[in-house]
Structure 1
Amino acid sequence: MTFRDTAWPEGTPCWVEVRVGDPKHTSAFYGALFGWDFLDRGEEYDHYLTASLDGRTVADIGPRFGEPANAPSAWLVCIAVESADAVAERIVRAGGTLTVAPTDVGTHGRFAVAADPGGAVFGIWQADEYFGAEVADVPGAAVWHRCLTRDFGAAQAFYVEVFGYTVTPEPSGSGGPDGGGPDAAAGVVLRLDGRPVAGLARAGAGAVSHWLVTFGVAELATAVAKVTASGGSVLTGPYDTSRGPSVLVADEQGTPFEVVAVSAAT
């Protein structure tokens, strides 16, 4: 269990959000699955719905902006930074691209969106009044984040250069949503000061580069049943990972994410 009442260290995934065609409908899906409550941030913040778990924030669900109605939705992983402008410059120097330049989000913080050299999209977040998730590593909250990439070498070099990560091999026998095997064996753990903060692995055949969020659940089979009962789908799994048996699922609007059983006392 991780409680957070101050800004996350630079380089740590600190927040996740998803933009969908119908945020209210999607909030009902996640509320049923994770027990989330929601706060509508109002017109100033485009009616983003901030999800909380037992009073602590965990995620945002927001509306699409200028995207095709049939464009696939995806969870956006936001990485904490001390200066969004400085890190945005490092992103470009390291071969990434900025899709949203650093911009203030009211009094909450400063935000940018980028893509790594393999095309995986992520956000960076410079906290002001709003520092991100207030709880992690419990059922109903994010427990892990990893980038699945079509260009493993370039992606690894990029994240090391931008965020100063050290890299260690993923534990032997760890698998992933693409079924394990050679791709999973090539995965690595990205670390800050020796602490694991994210993973990096090869994307499966035909998949685009992307970041994947893993949410904790109390019991895997029960969570999967709730996903399908609420209009979501099972994409693959269960498969073995270093965190335990996991399942890749999608919400009722097709947004993929992973679930794994964790203890509330983790």
Structure 2
Amino acid sequence: MPTPDHSNGAPCWIDLMSSDPEKAKSFYGGIFGWTFQTGDQEKYGGYITASKNGKAVAGIMQKMEDQAAMPDMWSTYLRTDDAAATAAAVAAHGGQVYMAPMDVPEQGHMAIFGDASGAAVGVWQPREMKGYELAAEPGAPVWHELHTKDYEKAVKFYQDVFGWDTEVLSDTPEFRYTTLGAGDAAKAGIMDASGFLPEGVPSNWQVYFGVEDADAAIAKAVELGGTVIRPPEDTPYGRNATLTDSTGAVFMISQALPRGGEETQ
């Protein structure tokens, strides 16, 4: 598959904040067949790049001491041409700047924000590093989804701050869902999660990874110390399940099913 075309406002990178990067490497390498390269400690803080078939798909970084109380977690980064301008827009539209734009030598600029519904989301302003080089395939990200407790506020935030051209997929009391783009061209989704996110769990972004066989991937994950949060279920968008890795970070998997559903999400 060609390298993904990362348009402004769309997901372009993911990384894992881990309390045990070596354990994470063993886990994800075992499930997805990833290989790893560790960046220079002085320049990049030992940031680990994960690759599938020689193409970068994700990052892993060591959780800092002052982050010890936070759970291990995956983050989604949206592409921007101007991280500083995006930070100003975030603040102007009800969001928060958790980490101001910072320079990553030669690679680009990154920042972490809270959206208007309280979900953490990153941005990436690229230079040499454009984003993940593989998508919509086994072992790579196939979908990005915001589970929000304030659906209308979240949709408006991403429209206003990131210029999302949105499409309403469903608007019933049981299932409210909006996508960035429409149909097969959609690149991310926003789900009304107010009915199922527990109290104390904030709105959050979730990453779906493609797998060839969801049941085999789940068995391997459990063997490597992961847990099953939501068992596999056939949906119009694939056979999906929710898991945690060996240190508790939540992620989702999606197996493409014969046509009748889409390959992503």
Is contact 1:137-1:262 (8 Å) kept? no
- 2:22 aligned residue: 24
User: Which residue does 2:260 correspond to in 1?
Assistant: none
TM-fit CA distance, 1:71: 2.1
Q: CA deviation at 1:196?
A: 1.0
1:224 alignment partner, SS class: helix
What SS does the corresponding residue of 1:3 show, helix, strand or coil?
Answer: coil
Determine the structure 2 residue equivalent to 1:13: 11
- The alpha carbon displacement at 1:53 in A equals 0.5
Aligned position for 1:213: 207
Q: Is the 1:10–1:82 Cα contact (8 Å) retained in structure 2? A: yes
8 Å CA contact retained: 1:18, 1:62: yes
Paired residues in the alignment total: 253
Matching residue of 2:114: 115
Mean CA deviation greater in 105-114 or 195-204 = 195-204
Q: 1:73 to 1:2 in 2, by over 3 A?
A: farther
Aligned to 1:232: 226
CA drift at 1:152: 0.7
TM-score relative to the length of structure 2: 0.90
Q: Aligned equivalents of 2:110 and 2:52: distance in 1?
A: 24
The answer to whether the 8 Å contact 1:219/1:261 transfers is: yes
Further displaced range: 28-37 or 237-246:
237-246
1:137 maps to which residue? Answer: 136
Aligned-partner Cα distance in 2 for 1:212–1:82: 23
Consecutive aligned runs of 4 or more in structure 1 exceeding 6 Å deviation: none
Question: Equivalents in 1 of 2:181, 2:50: separation in Å?
Answer: 28
Identity of aligned residues (%): 34
1:196 maps onto 2:186 in alignment: yes
CA separation in 1, counterparts of 2:39 and 2:224?
25
Whether 1:161 aligns to 2:174 is: no
Q: Deviations over 1:162-195 (max 9, x none)?
A: 11112222269xxxxxxxx944x21111228993
TM-score scaled to structure 1, two decimals? 0.89
What root-mean-square deviation, in Å, do the aligned CA atoms of Structure 1 and Structure 2 show? 2.0
List per-residue Cα deviations over 1:90-111 (Å, max 9, x = no partner).
1111111110001101111011
